Structure 1
Amino acid sequence: MVPPPLAALLGSLLLCCAGLTKGVKITSAVQPMVEKAQGEKVTLPCTFTLAPEDQGPLDVEWILIPTDNQKKEQTILMYSVDRIYNDYYEAMKERVRFTNSDPKLGDGSIDILNLKSTDTGTYQCKVKKAPGVESQKIQLTVLVKPARTKCYIEGSQETGSDLILKCASQEGSPLLSYNWRKLTGTEELPATSLLNKDTGELSVKNASQEYSGTYTCVAANRVGTDECFVVLNVTPPINAAGTIAGAVIGTLLGLLLLAFLIFCCCKKRKEKKYEKEVHHDIREDVPPPKSRTSTAHSYIGSNRSSLGSMSPSNMEGYAKTPYNKVPSEDFERSSGQNPNFPPSKVAAPNLSRMGAVPVMIPAQSKDGSIV
């Protein structure tokens, strides 16, 4: 048993030693874990008090300890010798800051803006003022709200069939839970349905028309919710034979219509080709009608073939015939207008008796004009 005087002495020594080791003390409440949603802001507290015996420079340092043990610790923010250093960690540059712009007043808390899922980790606040040193850790978990949730139906929607209403979020931190509700009709899930909250599947057995309606699925986690909608329409079975027959008839009608259109196109092309050939088939050797400028020229032109066949000896008798003996125009017209008077060649002696005048026949062009 220790004598009372000695016990008092030992107590005094212990109090003295405690006073010597006492220095910086973090006063903020301990929060071992903090959960926030992605995109939000979080404040990690770190308030402290200083002891008179702490005479060294004040340093406040925040360190990120990654969840992956393979990665090393990273200083993200620091206050030292009345200066703030915030360019240590590129991933949080311009997103992390001291809550109080002058941490030496006893507030070393920090704000992290626009949280990302990669910000998840353990954050350590370390306050140093020689010879005092103290630190505190906070676990931050950044959760992603459910988003881009989709609802759909798998299986036949015919009466008596089995089907599954499915729901899934493309974004969201685990653990996600799903819940289905019916919004129309009785607003109760079918009696034959079975819900799996972890997978988001609502299985329906032996569907009936009473199950038809609008359903909604709500996906949720600790930081938010998201929902989607789907319409279930249970109908009687479709007549497969009638559907096949209708499809066959429709196909045949389509083929007939296509064949008719092809036939019409071919016929039209043939008609156009024929018209084009007829249009270009023009005779170019048809002479224009003869001109009747004078009685003598008409007579000479009509008998050119006869005079051209005469020999030079026969031409002597015609040279002596005067020009006033040229047959009259009435004779030429009457012979030309009488259908019973057939055209014939006239011999040279007959031409002389008729008073024809022998002349030189000039050359004529194709259209009958004199060259």
Structure 2
Amino acid sequence: MVEKAQGDKVTLPCTFVLSEEDEGPLDIEWVLIPADNQKKEQIIIMYAVDRIYNRYYPAMTGRMQFTNPDPRSGDGSLDILNLKAADTGTYQCKVKKAPGVQSQKIQLTVLVKPARTKCSIEGPQEIGKDVTLKCASQEGSPLLSYDWRRVSGRQELPATSMLNKNTGELLLKNASQDYSGTYSCVASNRVGTDECSVELHVTPPINTAGIIAGAIIGTLLGLFVLAFLVFCCCKKHREKKYEKEVHHDIREDVPPPKSRSSTARSYIGSNRSSLGSMSPSNMEGYTKTPYSQVPSEDFERPPGQNATFAPSKHDIAHKIGDITVV
């Protein structure tokens, strides 16, 4: 029985002693006996007629050789390099030299070392709570064993701790601040070990009520700020809308330019006012003319004059004639 770790080198022993009666050619043969008895033996390497033949088993090509380059010396041991888990099996060495024959079986077990071991913490790290330290290797042949130790502060584990070597769990009951520190886990099997560590910080319980109150206050403040922003946006939108409407109304309410008839009326009205202020002595020279002869709104502007042209008082007086002032 031989146990080796994956990636290592193994030497399967096969030594022999020739007798004087052994006169035939030397023949050394290594075969792999399958676990299934229904299958044939697989030749791995052979020495015959002073030659070595090692191309029978592709799975080990380049990874096997005779320990002694000249097996005739009585050493037909086999070296297998860079072992793999698939190399596990029963190997048989056969030595033949007529009329003598010898054979030997060796059980090889290739084990995988623990690897990629990870440590973790499960449960709240608070005073008075139960905390579980977990350790697990992602690689490694069974049976794996786990062991926890404390590497900072007090070296021994807390008195309330409970270790399960098979699962790698370390339970710390009713944790206190003294439990804080660095813990290391070692995973092992028959061919190797692997290690990981984790930092434990035991703290006072969290003030849940304060956190809830803070969250509510924060939410209300957020809603208030959001409402204020919405109010500002709406107010600004209404102001812009109002300015636009006022501007539009002003443009629609602008009166059109005065026509010639309106200008004439204004002047007539002003002259009536002035005539009304005249004394009877000042009105003797005017000839009476019926009011119906007052110029109509179709008073035409003389050519070449702009819209602001205004007739003189003499022209107005001449048009309307004598006006009786009441």
By the TM > 0.5 criterion, same fold? yes
Aligned to 1:181: 149
- 1:270/1:86 Cα in 2 relative to 1: closer, same or farther (>3 Å)? farther
Q: Determine if the alignment matches structure 1 residue 226 to structure 2 residue 190.
A: no
Q: Which sits farther off after the overlay, 65-74 or 230-239?
A: 65-74
Give the TM-score normalised by structure 1: 0.63
Aligned to 2:130: 162
Q: Determine if the alignment matches structure 1 residue 63 to structure 2 residue 31.
A: yes
Within the candidate set 119, 129, 132, 1:151 is matched to 119
Report SS of the residue matched to 2:90.
strand
Amino acid at match of 1:142: V
Superposition pairs of residues 25-104 of structure 1, within 5 angstroms: 33-67=1-35, 72-104=40-72
Report SS of the residue matched to 1:124.
strand
Number of aligned residue pairs: give it: 270
Amino acid at match of 1:129: K
Between the aligned partners of 2:72 and 2:92, the Cα distance in structure 1 is 18
Report SS of the residue matched to 1:48.
coil
Between the aligned partners of 1:272 and 1:78, the Cα distance in structure 2 is 100
Aligned to 1:193: 161
Between the aligned partners of 2:37 and 2:238, the Cα distance in structure 1 is 85
| Deviation for aligned residue 1:233 | 1.3
1:149/1:170 contact within 8 Å kept: yes
1:66/1:120 contact within 8 Å kept: no
| Deviation for aligned residue 1:36 | 1.1
- 1:263/1:84 Cα in 2 relative to 1: closer, same or farther (>3 Å)? farther
1:160/1:206 contact within 8 Å kept: yes
Q: Which runs of 5+ in 2 are unaligned?
A: 252-299, 319-326
RMSD between aligned residues: 3.8
Between the aligned partners of 2:85 and 2:215, the Cα distance in structure 1 is 54
Report SS of the residue matched to 1:49.
coil
Report SS of the residue matched to 2:109.
strand
Report SS of the residue matched to 2:119.
strand
Between the aligned partners of 1:70 and 1:157, the Cα distance in structure 2 is 58
Give the TM-score normalised by structure 2: 0.71
Superposition pairs of residues 229-308 of structure 1, within 5 angstroms: 229-261=197-229, 306=301
| Deviation for aligned residue 1:269 | 7.8
Aligned to 1:8: none
1:177/1:197 contact within 8 Å kept: yes
| Deviation for aligned residue 1:251 | 2.3
Between the aligned partners of 1:111 and 1:136, the Cα distance in structure 2 is 16
User: Percent of aligned pairs with the same residue?
Assistant: 75
Between the aligned partners of 1:70 and 1:183, the Cα distance in structure 2 is 54
| Deviation for aligned residue 1:157 | 1.6
Aligned to 1:217: 185
Report SS of the residue matched to 1:247.
helix
Deviation digits for residues 336-361 of structure 1 (CA, Å, limit 9, x no counterpart) = 8xxxx8479xx9xx9xxxxxxxxxxx
Between the aligned partners of 1:254 and 1:114, the Cα distance in structure 2 is 65
Aligned to 2:271: none
| Deviation for aligned residue 1:254 | 2.9
- 1:54/1:276 Cα in 2 relative to 1: closer, same or farther (>3 Å)? farther
Report SS of the residue matched to 2:22.
coil
Aligned to 2:260: none
Amino acid at match of 1:159: I
- 1:59/1:210 Cα in 2 relative to 1: closer, same or farther (>3 Å)? same
Superposition pairs of residues 107-122 of structure 1, within 5 angstroms: 107-122=75-90
| Deviation for aligned residue 1:133 | 0.9
Q: Which runs of 5+ in 1 are unaligned?
A: 1-32, 284-304, 309-326, 351-371
Report SS of the residue matched to 2:194.
strand
Between the aligned partners of 1:43 and 1:109, the Cα distance in structure 2 is 7
Aligned to 1:299: none
1:67/1:120 contact within 8 Å kept: no
